[in-house]
Amino acid sequence: MAKTTKSFLALLRGGNLGVPLVILCILAMVILPLPPALLDILFTFNIVLAVMVLLVAVSAKRPLEFSLFPTILLITTLMRLTLNVASTRVVLLHGHLGAGAAGKVIESFGQVVIGGNFVVGFVVFIILMIINFIVVTKGAERISEVSARFTLDAMPGKQMAIDADLNAGLINQAQAQTRRKDVASEADFYGAMDGASKFVRGDAIAGMMILAINLIGGVCIGIFKYNLSADAAFQQYVLMTIGDGLVAQIPSLLLSTAAAIIVTRVSDNGDIAHDVRHQLLASPSVLYTATGIMFVLAVVPGMPHLPFLLFSALLGFTGWRMSKRPQAAEAEEKSLETLTRTITETSEQQVSWETIPLIEPISLSLGYKLVALVDKAQGNPLTQRIRGVRQVISDGNGVLLPEIRIRENFRLKPSQYAIFINGIKADEADIPADKLMALPSSETYGEIDGVLGNDPA
């Protein structure tokens, strides 16, 4: 028994039983009654999951990057339907206690949409159902069918193209296997999406039926079982019915939109934001034309001037920014051509010892304010000091120290110097050339204002 328990816990830690347990818990919601607080948590999680799936679908560069989408669509649809069943049970059993009997989420969504007018709330919910069922879901289903059919028809040609590239030596065996796997995965994905779109459509139909059941059944139970007036029963159960329908249909609409985005992706060059930036906003002339149209509409008598003027200015600014991009690209291309030409001309020259720059063993680079230290008119004080240091080091070690080259370096700060060993910077520091060094003695008292330095001796 202990061994079995350890094995079960090991499977849980490894994640092998995570998804099956989640599915079993979802199915258990059909049978077990759920308290309103747990319904609030599950409805909120359902909305969060739908938002995450939509964001992943938008950011995916190609459909196969989200190949798990059909499975996620099935699981989320199942979870949403079981939540509808659980909430319907709560509404019909405890709806007579008030609008909050089904949970705060359902009550809040119902009150926000209804806004004190039940007819408006009911019409808004019906419009949302029509958008989801007729517009988004129907279009995504049709695109999935066509994509699956065309993908299956194109499989033999793609396989032959891979074999031709392999025989021509353009790709190796590993690349050919990877491409064949991608072709098979693409066919499987669109086939799965063709079936998954049926889940979305069925979910929309089930939502309409659950709406009718909650409304009709709830009103009948309130009137005949709990002796509520027709007006009180209608107001109470309409609020919970619309709230229940909204918390189910909003995630359904988000997932339907995600499915439509996945199956309508054509370009593999980037995500949707990249495609919009490089296709919809790529032509400055189109943006300028739209700017003119918005401006004309803004000056038409009776039209709202401020919104059209704002969008006219926004489109004009966007067009101006986009018109600058080709100029920057051309300048970069010219710079690249010049660099390529220079490299080509250099490569055509014969390489000899004269073309290789000489690297000094020891060199000293000076900023332009320190160049006066090696000026002949001032007696070359720095050069004489360096010559003396070389002499002392050579006498003390018995090795002739290489000659130290001194040059001006405009890349350094005006009062900066750098020491190079075999062309590699060894150290650098700043010398305030317009100041003097004060050295302390036994007769020096107090502190002197200035930059703290080291005694060169």
Domain extents in the chain? 18-280, 283-327, 362-430
Q: What is the CATH number of domain 362-430?
A: 3.40.30.60
Tens digit of pLDDT at every position of the chain (457 positions)? 555 555 655 555 555 666 777 778 778 877 888 888 888 888 889 889 999 988 888 888 777 778 888 888 888 888 888 888 888 888 888 777 766 677 788 878 777 777 667 777 778 878 888 888 787 877 777 877 777 788 778 888 888 888 888 787 778 888 888 888 888 887 788 777 777 777 777 777 787 788 888 888 888 888 888 787 888 887 778 778 888 888 888 888 888 888 888 877 765 656 677 677 777 777 788 888 888 888 888 888 888 888 888 988 888 888 888 777 666 556 566 666 666 665 555 555 555 555 555 677 888 888 877 777 777 666 667 777 777 777 877 777 777 777 888 888 877 888 888 888 887 888 888 877 777 777 777 667 667 777 777 766 5
Among candidates 134, 142, 253, which has minimal Cα distance to 194?
A: 142
Task: Answer for the pair 248, 211: CB distance below 8 angstroms, yes or no.
Answer: no
Q: Cα–Cα distance between 185 and 127 in angstroms, integer?
A: 37
Q: What is the dihedral of CA 348, 349, 352, 355, to 10 degrees?
A: -120
Q: Cα–Cα distance between 455 and 438 in angstroms, integer?
A: 9
| Straight-line distance from the first to the last Cα atom of the chain, in angstroms, rounded to the nearest whole number | 84
Q: Give the pTM.
A: 0.61
Report the residue count for the chain: 457
